Structure 1
Amino acid sequence: MISYNVIGVMSGTSLDGIDLAYIHFEKNESWTFSILNATTVSYTKEMENELREAILYEKEKLAEFDTIYTKHLASVIKSFIKKHQITAIDAVCSHGHTILHQPENGITYQIGNQEKLAEIMQQKVVCDFRVQDVELGGQGAPLVPIGDELLFSEYDYCLNLGGFANVSFHKEGKRVAYDICPVNIVLNTYAKQLGFEYDDKGKLAKSGEYLMSLGAELNNLPFYKQQPPKSLGLEWVQEEIFPKLEAFKRKESDILRTFTEHIAQQIAKSFQIRSKILVTGGGAYNDYLLARIKFYKEVHLVKPNAELIEYKEAIIFGFLGILRLRDEVNCLKSVTGATKNHSSGKVYDFKVN
């Protein structure tokens, strides 16, 4: 038996905060894991605004902000280690936070992945998982499917409802995965305009009116006709989604209803009838959205315990870090479109202070 204790760290596009999970992994016949501690540390309003605006920063300003964010991330992780009196750590495996994602232009940039992270924390760090895949001609996303394949193989599909919806499944002897559509990156924006952090259980959307012409416009976006591999970023949402929603000048609840319906329609199209689907991410709590998915396709949506719903991505980035340390494949060409399967991520050892 081989075992590892790692801290997985994830910050998603929905800007909910930094997810941290301290996980024990074991390998016998197959990989198993247990979550020892997990928490989410919210961003200050100032940091949240900077993360939202950083896409517009010039190169020099973005580099400065990267250093600020790296120090912030290190501080958050150190506090987590101290609070839970964690002593056995093989590595901190961190995704960072995506600012730019334009794989068609050979660009993906996650801040918080500087060597400084290891120095400040005095821990081995595995990070910056996406860049190598883009250099190999891939989308650099989604990266979670190798974890789905090795940790959650009992499900027909793994669906994550975060800033974006992405799906992963086994097809014709290989893993296939792709981004389906935006979710909380849009829903949270309109919920906040109504004074809420998010649309609790989808109640705001449920109260709204469906705008048929807007729904048709959204469903006709070219992205939905593309074949995988494909992935989405904030840039696409700002260019393709928000202008369409704002042009309608309708109540926020109507926009929420229409966009929730749009999400459900796009997600339902991705599944075979009567499939067993693991649902994780913040959107798993959106009861109205889940009901609408089941309206469009007869499927069995499985909501696991709260820790797995909220921390699955942090868990899997911890796992990706272990695979990288073992020099085993953690990036699948069948998923990203890269020229080959590979072991991605930078490993930073620390110098003892």
Structure 2
Amino acid sequence: MSSYTKTYRVIGLMSGTSLDGLDIAYCEIKKQQDSWSFSIQKTKSIDYEKKLKNQLKNTVNIDSASLLAFHNDYGSWLGEQVKTFIDQHKLQIDFVSSHGHTVFHQPEIGLTYQIGSGQHIANACHQKVICDFRTNDVALGGQGAPLVPIGDKLLFSDYDFCLNLGGISNISYDLNEKRIAYDISPANMLLNLICTKINLEFDDRGKLSRNGILNKKVLAALNNLEFYDQPYPKSLGYEWFLENVAPIINNAKDSAENLLHTSVHHIAEQIARAIKKTGKQNSSLLITGGGAKNDFLIETLEQKLKGFSKIVIPETNIIDYKEALIFAFMGTLRDRNEVNCLHTVTGAKSDSSSGVIYYPS
């Protein structure tokens, strides 16, 4: 059997719902026989300046012409960041793989929209670009989310569960030889909303939430949200959060510390519930995303999973850049015209090789 190895040099871009910034990861992704491996070589996280952050936050409210113009401008901005990154590290790459920034995600009406024009990225950084990974899956009747499970399955198969704690918590695992994955609950999106009330970006290491006390009324209101009783496949968007979760927090008459403490318990309870439902005892749970650095959240989750699942926190590069890595990997699969969207995860009619390819001009 041939031991031929093919290496792809890809820059992955990720901008999450928590609006904390743009993650850039230069990855080397290797295919040898039937197995994949990766290394994250260079990384950069760019905080959004206040103006850009506000623009991204307000995209759900602007008129269509303004949104399309911003889609192009944001694409040019992404391309400029990539060009600077390439020049700084003197990189030779095969292509850029961009998630974009999600504005609308309403798969129940056949709609998902990520801004960051691929053509504008390509023209600004003079590289081939692969992006728009969700639209095709939604066109096939799927949720267009979550997308990360293909990477979990092929790059992180050593773990029973892969949990990402970003703006939203989502989980991925194998059950009866099928990959299952779905969004569990809001995570940093919820905690950061509370932090804005006291002029903070986020709760560093969960120090504030640790000092709070439980608000049972708010916890019950959060736990009783209809979404939690729906079967998977299912996914969450910012619009759902604004309509269903933000009012509970905004109408609560309590301190930020107490609301943070309560929200941490809510997030941990929903995650523990999802894991215990599988019946997979003595399992390993890999946690990545910004929430992996919230010590109080991790400790609370450990308590709720005691004797059931062992939490694994990987090295910082994986915590911070796993999603950028997986979008680099999804781009690689698309470039090879191989499956990168799993219908068992999204609910689509079939697996697909999703993503649109743009060339610089």
Pick the TM interval, shorter chain: over 0.9
Deviation for aligned residue 1:163: 0.3
Cα distance in 1 for residues equivalent to 2:162 and 2:88: 32
Q: Is the 8 A contact 2:146 2:183 kept in 1?
A: yes
User: How many residues of Structure 1 are paired with residues of Structure 2 in the alignment?
Assistant: 350
Cα distance in 2 for residues equivalent to 1:7 and 1:13: 20
Match of 1:230 among 231, 234, 237: 234
Match of 1:276 among 277, 284, 287: 284
* Residue 85 of structure 2 corresponds to residue 80 of structure 1: yes
Match of 2:164 among 160, 165, 168: 160
Match of 1:182 among 168, 171, 186: 186
Cα distance in 1 for residues equivalent to 2:193 and 2:81: 25
Partner of 1:38: 43
Show CA shifts across 1:190-223 (max 9, x none). Answer: 2233233211111111111211011111111110
Cα distance in 2 for residues equivalent to 1:181 and 1:53: 22
Question: Unpaired segments of 5 or more residues in structure 1?
Answer: none
Partner of 2:54: 49
Q: How does 1:291-310 map to 2 (within 5 A)?
A: 291-298=299-306, 299-310=309-320
Cα distance in 2 for residues equivalent to 1:261 and 1:213: 13
Q: Is the 8 A contact 1:18 1:41 kept in 2?
A: yes
SS in 1 for 2:171: strand
* Residue 233 of structure 2 corresponds to residue 221 of structure 1: no
Q: How does 1:323-342 map to 2 (within 5 A)?
A: 323-342=333-352
Cα distance in 2 for residues equivalent to 1:324 and 1:94: 12
Cα distance in 1 for residues equivalent to 2:120 and 2:19: 23
Residue identity (%): 48
SS in 2 for 1:309: helix
Partner of 2:296: 288
TM-score, normalised on structure 1? Answer: 0.97
Cα distance in 2 for residues equivalent to 1:304 and 1:196: 27
Question: Unpaired segments of 5 or more residues in structure 2?
Answer: none
Show CA shifts across 1:313-337 (max 9, x none). Answer: 0000000000000000000000000
SS in 2 for 1:269: helix
TM-score, normalised on structure 2? Answer: 0.95
Show CA shifts across 1:94-129 (max 9, x none). Answer: 001001100001110000033122122110100010
Cα distance in 2 for residues equivalent to 1:305 and 1:294: 18
Partner of 2:215: 211
Match of 1:200 among 197, 204, 215: 204
Partner of 1:346: 356
Partner of 1:321: 331
- CA root-mean-square deviation: 0.9
Q: Which amino acid aligns with 1:82?
A: D
SS in 1 for 2:162: strand
Q: Which amino acid aligns with 1:108?
A: T
Match of 1:58 among 58, 63, 77: 63
Show CA shifts across 1:67-100 (max 9, x none). Answer: 11111111111111111111x2111000010011
Cα distance in 2 for residues equivalent to 1:39 and 1:197: 19
Relative to 1, partners in 2 of residues 1:273 and 1:287: Cα closer, same or farther, differing over 3 Å? farther
Q: Is the 8 A contact 2:212 2:257 kept in 1?
A: yes
Q: Is the 8 A contact 2:77 2:121 kept in 1?
A: no
SS in 2 for 1:194: coil
Please identify, of 24-33 and 124-133, the stretch whose mean Cα deviation from structure 2 is larger: 24-33
Cα distance in 2 for residues equivalent to 1:120 and 1:200: 35
Deviation for aligned residue 1:240: 0.2
Partner of 1:14: 18
SS in 2 for 1:115: helix
* Residue 248 of structure 2 corresponds to residue 244 of structure 1: yes
Cα distance in 2 for residues equivalent to 1:259 and 1:174: 32
